[in-house]
C-alpha cells in the first residue's frame, strides 16, 4: 500500500486524505440521519394523545427526549400554543430553518471531494507525464523502459485512484442527499399537521367557552 502511494506521487497523499475524510463524514451523517428518521405519524399521534389531556409540559418533554427535526418543530409549535396562529407559524418556520443547516452540514464537503478527486487524479497524471518526458529527455536515445516507468506509474495510479475515490464518494453523497430530502419532507408534513391540530384544539376550546 505504502509503495503504491509513493509510486503515485504527492497527489496520492491528497487523495488518501480525501478518501479518509469522506468515509468519516459519510458514517457520521448516516448515523445522524438514522437517529433523526423517526416514524413521524406515530410520534405525532402520541403527542396528540397527550395534548388531548391538556398536558402541555408532558408533550414538550416527549419532544425534547425524541431526536430529529420533526420533534424539534413540534416542540416549537407546542411552546407557542397559547399565542396567535401567525406566531405559531413563525415559530415552526424558525425551528425548520434551524434544523435544515444541521441536516445539510458537510454534504457540500462530500460533493466537493467527489468533484475534485478526478481533477486531482488528472493533476497527478500530468505530473507523471512531465516526469516521464524529463526522464526521456535526460536519457536521450538510450532511454530504457525502467527510466520511464516511474512517471508512467505516477500518471496511471493517480488517474485510477482519483476515479476510485470520486465514484464511491459521489454515490454516498447522492444517497445522503436522498435521506436529507426525506427528512425535509417529513418536517414539512409534520409542520402542517401539528399546526392544524393545534388550531383544532383552539377552536374546540373557543366553542366550549362560548357556550
CA separation, residue 39 to residues 20, 24, 35, 163 (Å): 32, 27, 11, 38
Q: Identify whether the C-beta of residue 70 lies closer than 8 Å to the C-beta of residue 190.
A: yes
> Long-range CB contacts (< 8 A, 24+ apart) of 53-59?
56/81
User: Phi first, then psi: what are they for 37, rounded to 5°?
Assistant: -85, 85
Signed CA dihedral, 120, 121, 124, 126: sign only? negative
How far is C-alpha 201 from the chain's CA centre?
Answer: 37
Per-residue pLDDT of the chain (211 residues; tens, 9 = 90+): 556 666 667 788 889 999 999 999 999 999 999 888 888 888 888 998 888 888 888 999 999 998 889 999 999 999 988 888 899 899 999 999 999 999 998 999 999 999 999 999 888 888 877 776 666 666 556 555 555 555 667 778 888 889 999 999 999 999 999 999 999 999 999 999 999 988 888 787 777 766 5
The C-alpha atoms of residue 69 and residue 200 are separated, in whole angstroms, by 23
CA angle 201, 202, 208 (to 5 degrees): 90
Amino acid at each position: 500500500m505504502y509503495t503504491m502511494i509513493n509510486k503515485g506521487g504527492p497527489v496520492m497523499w491528497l487523495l488518501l486524505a480525501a478518501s479518509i475524510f469522506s468515509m468519516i463524514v459519510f458514517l457520521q451523517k448516516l448515523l445522524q440521519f438514522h437517529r433523526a428518521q423517526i416514524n413521524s405519524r406515530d410520534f405525532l399521534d402520541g403527542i396528540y394523545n397527550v395534548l388531548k389531556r391538556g398536558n402541555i409540559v408532558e408533550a414538550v418533554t416527549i419532544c425534547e427526549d425524541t431526536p430529529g427535526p420533526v420533534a424539534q418543530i413540534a416542540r416549537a409549535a407546542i411552546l407557542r400554543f397559547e399565542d396567535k396562529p401567525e406566531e405559531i407559524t413563525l415559530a415552526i418556520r424558525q425551528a425548520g430553518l434551524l434544523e435544515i443547516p444541521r441536516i445539510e452540514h458537510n454534504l457540500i464537503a462530500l460533493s466537493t471531494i467527489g468533484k475534485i478527486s478526478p481533477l486531482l487524479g488528472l493533476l497527478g497524471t500530468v505530473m507523471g507525464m512531465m516526469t516521464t518526458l524529463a526522464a526521456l529527455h535526460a536519457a536521450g536515445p538510450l532511454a530504457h523502459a525502467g527510466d520511464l516507468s516511474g512517471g508512467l506509474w505516477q500518471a496511471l495510479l493517480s488517474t485510477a485512484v482519483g476515479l476510485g475515490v470520486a465514484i464511491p464518494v459521489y454515490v454516498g453523497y447522492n444517497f445522503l442527499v436522498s435521506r436529507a430530502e426525506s427528512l425535509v419532507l417529513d418536517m414539512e408534513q409534520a409542520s402542517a399537521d401539528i399546526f392544524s391540530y393545534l388550531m383544532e384544539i383552539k377552536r374546540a376550546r373557543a366553542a366550549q367557552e362560548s357556550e
